[in-house]
């Protein structure tokens, strides 16, 4: 994908997947996406081919490109991979992190704290779509800063891809309630404390716990939603 238009289309679709803007099972229209970014359908098709090779999209005969739907088993495997990689990265980050990245992590946490307070003060206690998108962006940013601090550039792409798959799995199920946001931020704070203390063991364990809790929450919400779908289908 050396063509600039193809790269532009690739980045655009990848970001849409990260934002949860397209749900699992949704069809990707080459023409519509091309119009969004001002390119023809051809580079979009090339970008989708790359995304398909990376496992984010399926090319279905007579239908076209469709966002993948991950099974429960695939989600568990995905989180197990994230746990192994990101826990290791957090331990290395504790040994190698710079003051600049610690400052960026602190800023990230302060921004997420404001969003948590915003949701806590709302009448429903659930983040709006805009707030959820902001929080998700900060959540991803926090994890990628930890990977950056580990100084392992190869891991940046692998972990970034795993977060897209996580987002696809959660896209139509995940609700950002004040309790979920608070817990996520508290776990991020524990990781930050370990990093700022340069405690590799604590960083490893904090990240491992955070990802395991995220898996438990995601599976619980998916199972609850699936039960709800079954109930509606039977009524």
Give 67-105 pLDDT, tens digit per residue: 988 888 988 998 999 999 999 999 999 999 999 999 999
Do residue 34 and residue 118 come from a single domain?
no
Do residue 85 and residue 14 come from a single domain?
no
pTM metric for this prediction = 0.83
Written in H, E and C, the secondary structure of the chain is CCCHHHHHHHHHHHHHHHHCCCCCCCEECHHHHHHHHCCCHHHHHHHHHHHHHCCCEEEECCCEEEECCCCHHHHHHHHHHHHHHHHHHHHHHHHHCCHHHHHHHHHHHHHHHHHHHHHHCCCCCECCHHHHHHHHHHHHHHHHHHHHHHCCHHHHHHHHHHHHHHHHHHCCCCCCEHHHHHHHHHHHHHHHHHHHCCCHHHHHHHHHHHHHHHHHHHHHHHHHHHHHHHHHHCC
Q: What pLDDT does residue 143 have?
A: 95
Do residue 10 and residue 26 come from a single domain?
yes
Do residue 225 and residue 178 come from a single domain?
yes
Do residue 116 and residue 82 come from a single domain?
yes
Confidence category of residue 190, pLDDT binned at 50, 70, 90: very high
Whole-number average pLDDT of the chain: 88
Q: What pLDDT does residue 232 have?
A: 40
Task: Give 38 or 170, the one with higher predicted confidence.
Answer: 38
What is the Cα–Cα distance from 176 to 201, expressed in whole angstroms? 30
Do residue 87 and residue 197 come from a single domain?
yes
Do residue 193 and residue 93 come from a single domain?
yes
Q: What pLDDT does residue 209 have?
A: 98
Confidence category of residue 2, pLDDT binned at 50, 70, 90: very low
Give 103-161 pLDDT, tens digit per residue: 999 999 999 999 999 999 988 888 888 898 899 889 989 999 999 999 998 888 888 88
Do residue 50 and residue 113 come from a single domain?
no
Which stretch of 51-60, 139-148, 174-183 has the lowest confidence by average pLDDT? 174-183
Do residue 130 and residue 161 come from a single domain?
yes
Do residue 57 and residue 154 come from a single domain?
no
Taking residues 185-208, what's their average pLDDT? 98
Domain boundary among 21, 48, 67: 67
Do residue 156 and residue 142 come from a single domain?
yes
Q: What pLDDT does residue 30 have?
A: 93
Do residue 43 and residue 157 come from a single domain?
no
Instruction: Show the domain range for 31.
Output: 4-67
Task: Give 4 or 2, the one with higher predicted confidence.
Answer: 4
Highest mean pLDDT: which of 35-44, 55-64, 216-225, 226-235?
Answer: 35-44
Q: What pLDDT does residue 221 have?
A: 75
Domain count of the fold of the chain? 2
Instruction: Give the CATH number of the domain where residue 165 resides.
Output: 1.20.120.530
């Amino acid at each position: 994908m050396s063509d600039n238009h193809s790269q532009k289309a690739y980045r655009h679709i990848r970001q849409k997947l990260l934002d949860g803007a397209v749900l699992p099972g949704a069809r990707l229209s080459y023409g519509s996406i091309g119009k969004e970014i001002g390119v023809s359908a051809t580079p979009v098709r090339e970008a989708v081919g790359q995304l398909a090779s990376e496992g984010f999209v399926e090319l279905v005969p007579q239908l076209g490109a469709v966002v993948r739907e991950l099974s429960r088993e695939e989600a568990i495997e995905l989180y197990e991979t994230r746990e192994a990689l990101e826990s290791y990265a957090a331990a290395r980050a504790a040994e190698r992190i710079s003051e600049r990245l610690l400052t960026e992590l602190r800023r990230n946490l302060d921004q997420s704290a404001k969003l948590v307070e915003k949701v806590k003060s709302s009448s429903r206690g659930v983040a709006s779509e805009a707030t959820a998108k902001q929080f998700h962006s900060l959540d991803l940013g926090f994890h990628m800063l930890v990977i950056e601090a580990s100084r392992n550039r190869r891991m940046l792409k692998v972990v970034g891809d795993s977060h897209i798959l996580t987002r696809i799995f959660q896209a139509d199920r995940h609700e950002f309630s004040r309790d979920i946001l608070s817990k996520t931020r508290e776990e991020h704070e524990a990781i930050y404390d370990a990093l700022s203390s340069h405690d590799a063991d604590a960083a490893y364990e904090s990240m491992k716990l955070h990802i395991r809790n995220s898996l438990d929450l995601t599976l619980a919400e998916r199972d609850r939603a699936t039960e709800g779908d079954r109930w509606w289908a039977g009524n």
